[in-house]
Structure 1
Amino acid sequence: MGIANTYSRTRQTVVDRPGTLVLGLVVVLLVGDLVRGLATGTIQFHDLGSLAWDGLMRGLVIGLAGVGLSMTYSILNFANFAHGDYITSGAFAGWATTYVVAGLGRADVGSLVLVGAGGTVFGGALGINVLNTPFAVLAGALVAGVFAVGLALAVDRTVFAPIRDAGGITLLIASVGVAFALRYLLQFVFGSDVRGTTASPPQYQIHLVDGAVYVSTHDLALAAVAGALMLGVHLLLQLTKLGKSMRAMADNEDLARITGIPTERVIEATWVIGGGLTGVAGYMFVLWKGTLGFNDGWLLLLLIFAAVILGGIGSIYGAIAGGLVIGLTASMSVLWIPSAFARAAAFLVMIVILLVKPKGLFAGRTTA
């Protein structure tokens, strides 16, 4: 009877949700191929470890930036396409600060403020990294967050607030216009060249069976900052009056307004928290990868959207989990496919998982 019931439930699941079967088969095939590769030596343990670590770092950036986007959607009910350019704007503001603090007296101030536009000065020549210039890096991260907060509030006050009652589609289209305006303003001011921003950071070895995984101080800084900020958001949502108000407004804005929750103040707080996280995420992303370009945030935005959708639209924790899944997939997919298709693999995994859980990994959980 037990076997019959199990068979019946399994059959019904496959019929009702064929995506589950597809996902199961994909996982079995990939794991089988990975085990075979490790056994035959075609895949090395240290290569696997390096890719996993790279994916974790990438996932932390995507997840941290995704928290701000998810908060905006859950509380303001629109997808903000300018979010990627908030990332880039914060990164440029932060790195201009880092260049000035680290290079004052060693290079022309104008070149430092423009983050070495045109190849006038490089972060490597200034010796910028976490250990050599800790104050410059700390100042840059703080300015990146503060600048992104100011930018988010200014855009909301001048663009989004006047049309907030017009609906999500109108706000979405307006955000696309803001995104283009910010992106090409950055290109006009700072130039279109991609510039190196850091000196090579010290690295530590984690020894495995057949080699070592290298972990840099910039990796550790990213992990520490992202982890601390994510924990901070969790505590704010669960333990503070503001967090409870944000969760209430995400669940039902009209009811929140009727019960006396100051919705405008909650909206401002959403932009402040989301903008701060976004700016710091942009700065730490550049610190980790070591280069900065005017369209960095735009290129990252699609992966952030994928993470937010995969995690469950409106879920803060879903954005973090989705970011880790997308980051790990994008990095580790090169074991099976050319690196040029890594981003496509991340979206494919998102689609397959959504076939199993159409509302995302954290379906039904909004800002909490």
Structure 2
Amino acid sequence: MGVLVLDLVRQLVIGTITATSLLEYLWWGIRDSMYIGLAAVGLSMTYSILRFANFSHGDLITTGAFSGWAAAYLVGGWGLASVGELVLVRAKSGGVSPGDVGLQVFASPLVILFGLLVAGAMTVLVALAIDRLVYKKMRDQGGISMLIASVGVALALRYLLAVIFTNRKRGVTASTPDIGPFTAHELTLVVIAVVLIVGLHLLLQRTKLGKSMRAMADNKDLALITGIPTERVITATWIIGAAFAGISGYLIVLDRGSISINLGWLLLLMIFAAVILGGIGSIYGALAGSLVIGITVNMSLIWIPSDLSKVTAFVLMILILVFKPNGLLGGVETA
């Protein structure tokens, strides 16, 4: 780290990199850490309550992305194309273009908000259905069995989305004017993510449900003995975690402007890296890990090509597993 800092100072002095570029990389890191954090919170909550690594979490992110933008296209593009084309997000290839629909925060703020709500709600419904059909019946079989089952669920969900929406990557959002050095969609993503994270913090610390979730994360058996309704807590965990995952997927598309069925799957390893870095099972650790991962990956662009930047996230994850396996927050395993 000392060598890198010295080299960064050297590049600033000789003009290889400017202060503006440095601030831009830092902003990109904060932006990326917001959507990684939203997704990581859901994954960490699932682990802390149910004690298994949910590999279908990435495809819940994709589910939220497609369902939210299908709803936004239907409302925003009503009358411009057939209902089928709009619901299936047939942008460009034989359908309407993002510019025709005009889906951007200045032109269609209420439509964007509607899509966000649908993304969260539909992902919750899918997650609850999967829990009832698969995970609920396997809770006594241990974390490894549920992990393997989650891989099967991930594949089934992804290819179901491919059958419905096709596996073609497509542009979705319309261009928007910049606000100073930032885009309007970047600022929207960060503001919504911060509001949701603060809301989750207040829920965990100041509500009866939050205290029950923290108690169950500490000791499920003791929580059951003391009268905490564990099934209700598990259901609440799925609702909050899935809603955050779906909203994360929706916001990623808002920022990037394109969507594909591999969106969440390709992001899943980054999410796991953030969760492990912060301390698996710790919600606040997941947020801290996401911030470190987001900033590190983007700041690494100063030294390495962009197509290799994600390697830094996994190097960090490996180092943490080797030298500090309990994570940055010292092995805290409660919410």
TM-score by length of 2: 0.97
Cα distance in 1 for residues equivalent to 2:266 and 2:255: 16
Correspondent of 1:79 among 39, 53, 76: 53
Change (3 A) 1:318 1:189: same
1:146 aligns with 2:118: no
What's the counterpart of residue 347 of structure 1? 314
Change in CA separation of 1:119 and 1:352 when aligned onto 2, cut-off 3 Å: farther
Amino acid at match of 2:62: T
Q: Contact conserved, 2:277 with 2:316, CA < 8 A, in 1?
A: no
Match of 1:50 in 2: 24
- Cα deviation for residue 339 of structure 1 reads 1.2
Of the three residues 236, 248, 260, the one matched with 1:269 is 236
- In structure 2, what is the equivalent of residue 180 of structure 1? 155
Q: Are the counterparts in 2 of residues 194 and 293 from structure 1 also a CA contact under 8 Å?
A: yes
* Cα distance, 1:349 vs structure 2: 2.3
SS in 2 for 1:198: coil
Quote how far apart the aligned CAs of 1:163 are: 1.0
1:355 deviates by: 4.6
Separation in 2 of the partners of 1:303 and 1:226? 17
Q: Take 2:99 and 2:314, find their aligned partners in 1: how far apart are those partners?
A: 34
Structure 1 CA distance, aligned partners of 2:55 and 2:233? 21
User: How many angstroms apart in 1 are the aligned matches of 2:135 and 2:62?
Assistant: 20
Per the TM alignment, residue 352 of structure 1 is displaced from its structure 2 partner at its CA by 3.0
**C-alpha contact (below 8 Å) 1:119/1:195 kept by paired residues:** no
Q: Is the 8 A contact 1:82 1:175 kept in 2?
A: yes
Give the C-alpha shift of residue 354 in structure 1: 4.6
Q: Say whether 1:364 aligns with 2:328.
A: no
2:111 alignment partner, one of 125, 131, 136: 136
Aligned residues: 334
Q: Partners of 2:177 and 2:334 in 1: how far apart?
A: 38
Matching of residues 249-288 of structure 1 within 5 Å: 249-288=216-255
Identity %: 59
Aligned equivalents of 2:296, 2:331: Cα separation in 1: 24
Q: Distance in 1 between matches of 2:83 and 2:126?
A: 24
Give TM-score, length-normalised by structure 1. Answer: 0.89
CA distance in 2, matches of 1:280, 1:330: 22
Q: By how many angstroms is 1:177 displaced?
A: 0.2
Would the alpha carbon gap of residues 145 and 337 (structure 1) be closer, same or farther in structure 2, given more than 3 Å must change?
same
Deviation at residue 249 of structure 1 after TM alignment: 0.6
User: What residue identity is the alignment partner of 2:118?
Assistant: V
C-alpha separation between the residues in 1 aligned to 2:250 and 2:296? 23
Q: Unaligned stretches of 5+ in structure 2?
A: none
The residue aligned with 2:169 is 194
Uncovered stretches (5+) of structure 1, i.e. residues with no partner: 1-26, 206-213
User: Residues of 2 paired with 1:147 and 1:367: CA distance?
Assistant: 28
Larger Rg: 1
Q: After TM superposition, give the deviation of residue 282 of structure 1 in Å.
A: 0.7
What are the equivalent positions in structure 2 for 1:1-368 lying under 5 Å apart? 27-116=1-90, 118-205=93-180, 214-368=181-335
| 1:357 counterpart letter in structure 2 | K
